[in-house]
């Protein structure tokens, strides 16, 4: 797991955002039904899928974004100077690019393709710590999973209305 690196960089980026009064967002990314893919096709295919997802995320990210594997089939992206609206756009770019990527024998997956669910959170008065920000993005990710997978949800939408902003 790279969570030590992630939290170290997130603490640095939060401090910079607070100091410069700029927004910061985080995206949690989880491969949908990864256990099925790994169990059906084997660990070598699962490892290759993780590498492919990592490469897609790096390609879709901006130069200033920090993308790393969080653990298992989860990834995290730290987006400096990125607003709520911009972070949702980046999240949807990640989701769409993964959905359009051809993975080895992805037809074994429910729906016939390998997809990801994403949760987005932005630094605010409610979240000034790295732990809070990750927890908020994780709650949004869980909502994406619970409401159909292969979608993005921003944390702020979970509390502002009963209809979250999902696609």
Task: Round to whole Å and give the CA distance between 148 and 167.
Answer: 10
Task: Round to whole Å and give the CA distance between 135 and 150.
Answer: 20
State the catalytic residues.
73
**β-sheet with 74-80: strand ranges across:** 66-71, 74-80, 24-31, 116-122, 152-154
Mean of all residue pLDDT scores within the chain: 91
Q: Collapsing DSSP states into helix, strand and coil, what is residue 23?
A: coil
Determine if the pTM surpasses 0.85.
yes
Q: Collapsing DSSP states into helix, strand and coil, what is residue 120?
A: strand
Q: What tens digit of pLDDT does each residue of 78-132 get?
A: 999 999 899 999 999 999 999 999 999 999 999 999 999 999 999 876 667 888 9
Q: Which runs of consecutive H residues, i.e. helices, occur in 21-83?
A: 34-41, 43-60
The residues facing 28 across adjacent strands are: 76, 119
Computed on alpha carbons and rounded to an integer, the radius of gyration of the chain in Å comes to 15
């Amino acid at each position: 797991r790279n969570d030590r690196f992630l939290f170290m960089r997130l603490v640095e980026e939060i401090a910079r955002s607070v100091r410069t009064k700029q927004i910061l967002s985080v995206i949690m990314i989880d491969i949908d039904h990864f256990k099925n893919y790994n169990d059906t096709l084997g660990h070598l295919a699962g490892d290759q899928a993780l590498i492919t997802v990592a490469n897609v995320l790096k390609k879709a990210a901006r130069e200033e974004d920090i993308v790393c594997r969080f653990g298992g089939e989860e990834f995290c992206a730290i987006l400096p100077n990125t607003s709520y609206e911009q972070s949702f756009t980046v999240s949807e770019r990640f989701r769409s690019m993964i959905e359009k990527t051809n993975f080895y024998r992805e037809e074994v997956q429910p729906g016939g393709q390998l997809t990801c669910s994403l949760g987005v959170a932005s630094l605010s008065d409610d979240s000034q710590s790295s732990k809070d920000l990750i927890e908020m993005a994780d709650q949004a990710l869980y909502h994406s999973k619970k409401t159909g997978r292969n979608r993005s949800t921003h944390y702020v939408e979970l509390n502002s209305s009963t209809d979250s902003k999902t696609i």
